[in-house]
Amino acid sequence: MTTIASIGTGNMGTALIQGILSADENITVRATTNSAASAKRLAGEMPQATVTSVEEDADANATAATGADFVFLGVKPWMMADALRALAPALEPTTVLVSMAAGVASADLAQLAPQNPIVRIMPNTPSSIGHGVIALAPDAEVAADSVETLRSLLSGAGLVVDLDESQIPAMTGISGSGVAYFFLLAEAMIAAGVKQGLSEDAARQMVVATADGAGRLLTRKPDPAAQRKAVSSKGGTTLAGLQEFIDAGIFDIAEAAAQAAADRSLEMERENSEVING
Ligand SMILES: NC(=O)c1ccc[n+]([C@@H]2O[C@H](COP(=O)([O-])OP(=O)(O)OC[C@H]3O[C@@H](n4cnc5c(N)ncnc54)[C@H](OP(=O)(O)O)[C@@H]3O)[C@@H](O)[C@H]2O)c1
């Protein structure tokens, strides 16, 4: 049976582990948090996992990681150095480290745990319901069968995309962070509906169901331009609305957003590299 230690199990760690467990319950999960309060809440959300906290047991991370096949690292990027440094002596050389941290390069993680193979992943939050996108970038030390096992585990959380680590900032810009852009659009559309006289409740219900429907249609026929053109009759309402988005520079806005997130990812890599390498 595969054993996963999830070190730092907050929003993203919980989303991933829940996605994995929803597809395969035959996995041992040991999850840790910093505070006892978070551990208590997590134990309620994830009854299949053994949950411990650093507040209650200073060795909780090392104990959870000992003998695990995969150690998922889900602490905030700037906490990674301290957490991994403390954990490294407890790791067996065969244990694969799986870092989900935005802006921490594998080469820097390797400084902290030189004996262990490292996989960098970049997930997004729909992973908790099996509809995430998870980029998978293993370093050269990771055995092919470990990559295969990890790919299969993560596929419970969503679409797994193999990438080179150098492509992670670009992926972050459209997918890791990209899910929030869709939420922002939904927020803006609800506000617009309210301005047009709808109640907030009605506007929210309609926008959420519209997003769901659009997503499902797009999944069936993954050509957004064709889908858009199919609903844009000449002289019609949709074309009038779309023209506003186009005139306001929607393509430039998306490009700038993707670039800003990718740039920030690289900037974080540099900042975290300085922290790790002193
Ligand atoms: N959120 C996203 O959409 C997203 C997307 C892609 C990647 N990521 C990456 O995922 C990672 C986690 O982000 P998040 O949003 O899930 O943060 P989060 O919700 O704050 O979760 C962090 C978790 O780490 C725990 N923790 C802190 N220090 C610890 C320690 N020394 N030992 C064990 N656990 C410790 C926290 O416990 P307490 O609750 O007790 O403090 C919490 O459970 C980050 O590296 C981030 O870059 C996030």
User: Which of 164, 192, 226 finishes a domain?
Assistant: 164
Cα 14 to ligand 1 centroid, rounded to whole Å: 9
Query: Do 130 and 190 have their domain in common?
Result: no
- The pLDDT tens digits of the residues spanning 147-183 come to 999 999 999 999 999 999 999 999 999 999 999 999 9
Residue 130 CA to residue 158 CA, distance in Å, equals 5
User: Which of 164, 191, 223 finishes a domain?
Assistant: 164
What is the phi/psi pair of residue 3, to 5°? -115, 125
| Reported pTM | 0.92
Residue 152: inside a domain: yes
Q: 68 by DSSP, 3-state: which? A: coil
**Pocket test residue of 76, 154, 275 for ligand 1, highest count of atoms within 8 A of CB:** 76
Query: Do 200 and 109 have their domain in common?
Result: no
Q: Which pLDDT does position 18 carry in this prediction? A: 92
Cα 16 to ligand 1 centroid, rounded to whole Å: 12
Query: Do 41 and 143 have their domain in common?
Result: yes
Query: Do 17 and 119 have their domain in common?
Result: yes
Q: Which residues line ligand 1 (CB under 6 A)?
A: 7-13, 32-35, 38, 54, 61, 74-77, 79, 83, 100-102, 122-125, 176
Q: Which pLDDT does position 265 carry in this prediction? A: 94
Residue 70: inside a domain: yes
Query: Do 33 and 76 have their domain in common?
Result: yes
**Pocket test residue of 14, 75, 79 for ligand 1, highest count of atoms within 8 A of CB:** 75
Cα 271 to ligand 1 centroid, rounded to whole Å: 18
Query: Do 74 and 195 have their domain in common?
Result: no
Residue 119: inside a domain: yes
**Any idea what the CATH number is for the domain that residue 213 is in?**
1.10.3730.10
Query: Do 136 and 195 have their domain in common?
Result: no
- The pLDDT tens digits of the residues spanning 29-80 come to 999 999 999 999 999 999 999 999 999 999 999 999 999 999 999 999 999 9
Residue 252: inside a domain: no
Residue 68: inside a domain: yes
Query: Do 74 and 201 have their domain in common?
Result: no
**How many domains are contained in the chain?**
2
**Any idea what the CATH number is for the domain that residue 68 is in?**
3.40.50.720
Residue 233: inside a domain: yes
The amino acid at 172: T
Residue 51 CA to residue 60 CA, distance in Å, equals 9
Residue range of the domain that includes 216: 177-247
Cα 8 to ligand 1 centroid, rounded to whole Å: 5
Residue given tokens 């972050």 in the structure block: 172
Above 80 in pLDDT, residue 278? no
Above 90 in pLDDT, residue 23? no
The amino acid at 130: G
Q: Which pLDDT does position 1 carry in this prediction? A: 86
Query: Do 155 and 234 have their domain in common?
Result: no
- The pLDDT tens digits of the residues spanning 106-131 come to 999 999 999 999 999 999 989 989 99
**Residue ranges in the chain assigned as alpha helix (H):** 11-23, 36-45, 60-65, 80-87, 106-112, 144-154, 168-171, 178-195, 200-220, 224-230, 237-247, 250-277
Q: Are 84 and 19 in contact (CB under 8 A)?
A: no
The DSSP code for 35 is S
Residue nearest to atom 29 of ligand 1 (CA): 34
Partners of 53 in the β-ladder:
33
Angle made by CA atoms 133, 218, 159, in degrees to the nearest 5: 20
Cα 65 to ligand 1 centroid, rounded to whole Å: 17
Residue 186: inside a domain: yes
Query: Do 203 and 233 have their domain in common?
Result: yes
- The pLDDT tens digits of the residues spanning 221-247 come to 999 999 999 999 999 999 999 999 999
Helix axes 144-154, 11-23, angle to 10 degrees: 90
Cα 10 to ligand 1 centroid, rounded to whole Å: 5
What tokens were used for 75?
């602490």
Q: Which pLDDT does position 128 carry in this prediction? A: 85
Residue nearest to atom 46 of ligand 1 (CA): 101
Query: Do 159 and 43 have their domain in common?
Result: yes
Query: Do 118 and 61 have their domain in common?
Result: yes
Instruction: Provide the percentage of residues in the chain whose pLDDT is more than 70.
Output: 100
- The pLDDT tens digits of the residues spanning 182-212 come to 999 999 999 999 999 999 999 999 999 999 9
